[in-house]
Amino acid sequence: MRRTVLGTLHSGKPPLQQIADLIAARTGLFFGIQELRRLTSVVTGRIANLRLKSVEEYLRLLQQESRDSSREWREFVSDITVGETYLFRDEGQITLLRQELLPQILEENRNQKRVRIWSAGCSSGEEIYTLAILLDQLLGRDHGWQLELLASDLDQRALAQAELGLYRQWSFRGVAEEIRSRYFVRCGEQWQVSAELRRQIRFFHLNLMADHYPLAEPFLNRVDLIICRNVLIYFEAATIDAIAAKLAATLRSGGILLTGHNELSGVNRPELLPKKGVRSHYHQRSEPALVLPSIPLPPVTRPPPPPLFPRIVEPPQPLNLPEANECEESLRLQLQHHLQQRDYLRVLSLAAEGEKRGGAQREELGEISLVVGQALANMGRYGEAEERFTALSKEGKWQAIAFYWLAQISALEGDESRAKRLLEKVIYLESDAVPALLELARLLLRSGQTKRARQLLQGGRYALGQSGEREWRHYGIANSAVMIDEIDYLLALP
């Protein structure tokens, strides 16, 4: 008898059910009987896309611990978590945010003038940009506040689209034209969020079920407002309760959790008090939140997930620099500037022109190659970035830095063992490479190796005290103070 693509294994559960179990174990997402038809459609599409012969072969791929499996999980999760969203969604909750919750939070924080908001399950970004617009409308320009706007999602492809902030007309249904013209820039048939708003937001990958928080990342604590709308509907009751407990622990005392309507019905968390507001309900943290040091956001040191298409950016601000063909120093300054502005296409264009001209010294070519590698990684072109860094690792001066960036790519692709080995190489070559010490300590903490992690953190703290204000730009870090804050925070954890 010929076996169909979605056949049954000779023993045990049907392979499709095994895939559903894998999804639940890895992400917490639950596929009941009603959802299995959609899962069947997604799995069939992935099998055809990969040119596999059967669902059993696809199941084996998902079960592997390999780079191919990690890449496929990213694509698979993106396909099974497709959600519909748009700007200023749910008029009732937007009214609640505009008229009650955000003014209340601003009043409570008026002395320190700092607000921390997290969109948990941000999808393609419409929600966090809506919040940024609401805050701008409430505060006005030149407000002097420190806005820490965080956005996470399980789907790395959606995160890439969110970081681009590029939307079609469908995302603007119900949005006033004056808002679109003020906060967006026309890009052909699409509209892109202004660079000013995009710079306010930090996007990052997070698994609400599997990842640990508020302890997993330094910035994810003492949050004023968490918005987690239309996310919990995908989980079973026990998982919802566990996630609600972690979200509550991430809020400051008095912090607010806003979910979709009735998403927490049946969940009894004494630390989350139900409240009735203007046109909608929300929950408020009642008991004292976990006391964690409130520190500034660290710079993004990991490349963001791959974009769906090349980044479209607004023209960069003019630089008071000589033209690139006047001297190589100017080219390096321009490359660094455009890298910081996230104008990665401009980085690649300038670098290609510089490499074509020739005449650059080996050291200059190394720095150009390093910046190009970072730009490629930030665009999601990991294979090309890895080629650049691998070639650079054969150059003595750049070897440690190249291994550091290769480790970042490996960690992003889920190969933490390789990332650790590469970071060990960095530390062997440069014992005072604090970014590598810090990155390796983070990985060790995640795997429960607390003693070694603390030794590395203490070594990094000592090295920073001895080295003074060393430049760390090749590691993608602004200054030593940022690492000192993060190390002190991690050392203070129980």
- Mapped onto helix, strand or coil, the DSSP state of residue 119 is strand
* Torsion sign across C-alpha atoms 364, 365, 371, 374: negative
Task: Give the angle 62-67-69 at the CA atoms, nearest 5°.
Answer: 10
Domains in the chain, please, with CATH?
Answer: 15-80 (1.10.155), 91-285 (3.40.50.150), 324-492 (1.25.40.10)
Q: For the range 266-272, what are the long-range contacts, defined as Cβ-Cβ under 8 Å and sequence gap of 24 or more?
A: 266/237, 267/237, 267/240, 267/241, 269/241, 269/244, 269/245, 272/244, 272/248
Tell me which H or E stretch contains 404.
Answer: helix 399-412
Supply 247's token pair.
Answer: 């979200």
Q: Which residues pair with 35 in a beta bridge?
A: none
What is the per-residue burial (b if ≥16 Cβ within 10 Å, else e) of 53-67?
eebbebbebbeeeee
Exposed, middle or buried: residue 266 (CB in 10 Å: 0-12, 13-18, 19+)?
Answer: exposed
- Of 66, 44, 478, nearest in space to 298 by CA: 478
Tell me which H or E stretch contains 275.
Answer: strand 272-277
Spatial strand order in the sheet of 280-285: 201-205, 146-153, 114-120, 223-228, 251-259, 280-285, 272-277
Report pLDDT for 28.
Answer: 67
How far is 433 from 271, CA to CA, in rounded Å?
Answer: 42
How far is 53 from 89, CA to CA, in rounded Å?
Answer: 42
Q: Quick check: 70 and 413 in contact, CB under 8 A?
A: yes
Mean pLDDT by 10-residue block, N- to C-terminus, for the chain (494 residues)? 37 75 76 66 82 88 84 77 73 90 95 94 93 94 89 86 86 86 88 90 89 72 92 81 92 93 81 86 76 39 33 32 41 74 74 68 75 80 86 88 90 82 92 89 85 90 76 76 74 74
Report pLDDT for 273.
Answer: 92
Report pLDDT for 261.
Answer: 75
How far is 444 from 392, CA to CA, in rounded Å?
Answer: 27
CA dist 410 → 66, 322, 374, 443 (Å): 11, 37, 14, 12
- Mapped onto helix, strand or coil, the DSSP state of residue 382 is helix
Q: Quick check: 291 and 264 in contact, CB under 8 A?
A: no
Supply 341's token pair.
Answer: 């502005």
CB-CB neighbours of 119 under 10 Å = 28
Report the greatest alpha carbon distance in the chain: 74
**Type of residue at 454:** R
Nearest 10 degrees: CA dihedral of 271, 153, 207, 452?
A: -100
